[in-house]
């Protein structure tokens, strides 16, 4: 929409999001990430290769693999070496895919090395986070709220350093290693979470999409929920609203999320993006947390007609509205090429049918 903006001018991009949201007549919900964290490992995977200590010596070699830039790092420690690859693929100018494509944690030994030697949070991070969040809260003012992507929940955190094909069965195949991994994942970024909470954002966004409903309620409740609950408590301890994010299959877990103690859950992605049945979920939750969602941003907001947008939005409001504790939004981030006229219809319809 604004091709002249430098894609790396994060502040200006955030300001444009605020302005455009107001122009649509919607309430502003700003979600901060890229101008808060200096390194990608907290959200996208791998260990911290941006810092070095006498016990954490990093050597990174960068090369091109097709359209992907690969950063291959070797980390030397007194107890052994770690190896990882971090890949960056540019989809379009200013839009990148980030992923750890060679995971550093292979077993208990490598996990012990990371937990013992990975550098802690930089001392200047709390002040930096506070400055950015305060500035954005001033920009939004009374027209909305400011959220920050806090470090993920522990299971998501574990997925940043361990291969998913191993992680999804680890609680059965190697229960002792799994318990150790999850305990470490729960505390690894705790100081980052506390620093962000102390900066007083309105909302702390907590990634919980990796342990989706496909794992089943029994597995989630037994092996994942206790760790997630502890992390959410830390995120909410300064008064921010915790918002647990599962953008995939969710119906098996909507009642489990009550036990998390989290204030809100999003985004209740409808089929085919997820498996959410908003009306059914609303009855199961029974007002015990705020539900946020859930209009299909791909097939409806991006690919649908104005009439389809209006129809689906009306049905979504009607499903979520009874009893309150529901916030209407797109099921996830807006896709490129989403027609502005569709967004206008989305906001107009939501406002028209959202009143009591």
Task: For residue 155, name the pLDDT band (cuts at 50, 70, 90).
Answer: very high
Q: Tokens representing 29? A: 């919900």
| 285: nearest Cα among 313, 308, 265, 306 | 265
The tens digit of pLDDT for each residue in 67-80 reads 899 999 999 999 99
Distance, CA of 226 to chain centre: 19
Residue 273 in domain: yes
**Percent of the chain whose predicted confidence (pLDDT) is above 70:** 100
206 touches 266 (CB < 8 A)? no
Residue 79 in domain: no
Mean pLDDT across the chain: 96
Residue 55 in domain: no
Host H or E run for residue 100: strand 95-102
Q: How far apart are CA 8 and CA 55, in angstroms?
A: 33
Which residues have a Cβ under 8 Å from the Cβ of 252 and sit 6 or more positions away? 213, 214, 215, 216, 217, 220
206 touches 245 (CB < 8 A)? yes
- Convert 181-249 into a string of H (helix), E (strand) and C (coil): HHHHHHHHCHHHHHHHHHCCCCEEEEECCCCCHHHCHHHHHHHCHHHHHHHHHHHHCCCCEEEEEECCC
Residue 181, pLDDT > 90, answer yes
Residue 328 in domain: yes
What's residue 286's pLDDT? 97
Q: Show the CA angle centred on residue 185, arms to residues 265 and 231, nearest 5°.
A: 40
Host H or E run for residue 39: none
Whichever domain contains 134, its CATH number is: 3.20.20.210
Calculate mean pLDDT across residues 200-226: 97
Residue 258 in domain: yes
Residue 289 in domain: yes
Residue 34, pLDDT > 90, answer no
Give the number of domains in the chain.
Answer: 1
Residue 334, pLDDT > 80, answer yes
Q: Tokens representing 320? A: 């979520």
What's residue 339's pLDDT? 97
Which residues have a Cβ under 8 Å from the Cβ of 95 and sit 6 or more positions away? 7, 336
Length of the chain counted residue by residue: 356
Which residues have a Cβ under 8 Å from the Cβ of 279 and sit 6 or more positions away? 319
Residue 93, pLDDT > 80, answer no
284 touches 347 (CB < 8 A)? no
**Percent of the chain whose predicted confidence (pLDDT) is above 90:** 94
Residue 315, pLDDT > 90, answer yes
Q: How far apart are CA 167 and CA 156, in angstroms?
A: 10
Calculate mean pLDDT across residues 165-183: 97
Task: For residue 91, name the pLDDT band (cuts at 50, 70, 90).
Answer: confident
**Structural domain boundaries enclosing 125:** 10-47+104-354
What's residue 346's pLDDT? 98
Calculate mean pLDDT across residues 334-349: 96
Residue 77 in domain: no
What's residue 92's pLDDT? 80
């Amino acid at each position: 929409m604004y091709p002249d903006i430098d894609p790396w001018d994060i502040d200006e991009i955030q300001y444009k999001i605020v302005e455009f949201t107001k122009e649509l007549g919607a309430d502003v919900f700003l979600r901060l990430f890229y101008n808060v964290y200096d390194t990608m490992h907290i959200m996208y995977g791998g260990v911290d290769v941006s810092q070095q200590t006498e016990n954490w010596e990093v050597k990174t070699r960068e090369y091109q693999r097709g359209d992907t830039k690969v950063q291959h790092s070797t980390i030397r420690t007194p107890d052994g070496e770690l190896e990882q690859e971090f890949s960056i693929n540019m989809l379009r100018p200013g839009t990148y895919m980030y992923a750890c494509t060679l995971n550093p944690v292979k077993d208990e030994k490598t996990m012990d090395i990371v937990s013992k030697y990975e550098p802690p949070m930089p001392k200047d991070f709390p002040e930096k986070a506070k400055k950015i969040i305060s500035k954005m809260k001033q920009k939004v003012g009374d027209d909305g709220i400011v959220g920050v992507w806090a470090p993920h929940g522990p299971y998501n955190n574990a997925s940043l350093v361990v291969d998913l094909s191993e992680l999804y069965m680890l609680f059965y195949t190697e229960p002792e290693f799994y318990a150790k991994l999850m305990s470490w994942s729960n505390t690894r970024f705790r100081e980052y979470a506390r620093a962000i909470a102390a900066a007083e954002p309105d909302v702390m966004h907590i990634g919980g999409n990796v342990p989706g409903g496909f794992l089943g309620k029994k597995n989630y409740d037994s092996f994942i929920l206790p760790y997630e609950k502890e992390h959410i408590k830390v995120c909410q301890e300064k008064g921010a609203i915790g918002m647990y994010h599962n953008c995939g299959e969710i119906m098996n877990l909507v009642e489990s999320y009550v036990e998390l103690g989290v204030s809100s859950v999003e985004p209740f992605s409808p089929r085919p993006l997820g498996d959410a049945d908003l009306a059914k979920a609303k009855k199961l939750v029974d007002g015990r947390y705020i539900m946020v969602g859930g209009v299909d941003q791909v097939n409806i907001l991006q690919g649908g007609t104005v009439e389809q947008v209006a129809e689906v939005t009306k049905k979504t409001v009607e499903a979520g509205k009874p009893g309150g504790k529901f916030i209407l939004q797109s099921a996830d981030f807006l896709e490129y090429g989403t027609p502005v006229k569709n967004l206008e219809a989305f906001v107009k319809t939501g406002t028209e049918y959202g009143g009591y």
